[in-house]
A = this chain, B = another copy of it.
């Protein structure tokens, strides 16, 4: 599914973001286990440690919890937390820069809406 990796972003970061996305979009359910480090490693032809590093970030943020010998389980209530966190982050740190960029490039609403209409 992750056709290819973006060479400008560390793989473990992309894995981390992918898990967040899948929780957010409901493909990974609260209370269930993440696919094991070795499974993902085999599927994507990666070193288990690389996946472990992504999973470690999720543990540090209390998104998942480790059950020794069993795997990593998604905590309850996390979907909402992620949604709010991403919204907050987008609105405060990304969106202002985007607006500034739009103004700097003197882009019209037509320029911005056209690609959206075409995608429909």
User: Which of A's residues lie within 8 Å of B, judged by CB?
Assistant: 21, 24-25, 83, 86-87, 90-92, 94-96, 98-99, 101-102, 104-107, 111-112, 115-116, 119
Copies in the complex: 2
Q: Given the complex of chains A and B, what is the CA–CA distance between A99 and B116 in angstroms? A: 8
Supply 10 further A-B pairs (C-beta < 8 A) apart from A91-B107, A96-B115: A83-B106, A86-B105, A87-B105, A87-B111, A90-B102, A90-B105, A90-B107, A95-B115, A96-B119, A98-B98
Q: Given the complex of chains A and B, what is the CA–CA distance between A101 and B87 in angstroms? A: 9
Query: In the complex the two chains form, is B104's CB within 8 Å of A87's CB?
Result: no
Q: Given the complex of chains A and B, what is the CA–CA distance between A54 and B83 in angstroms? A: 38
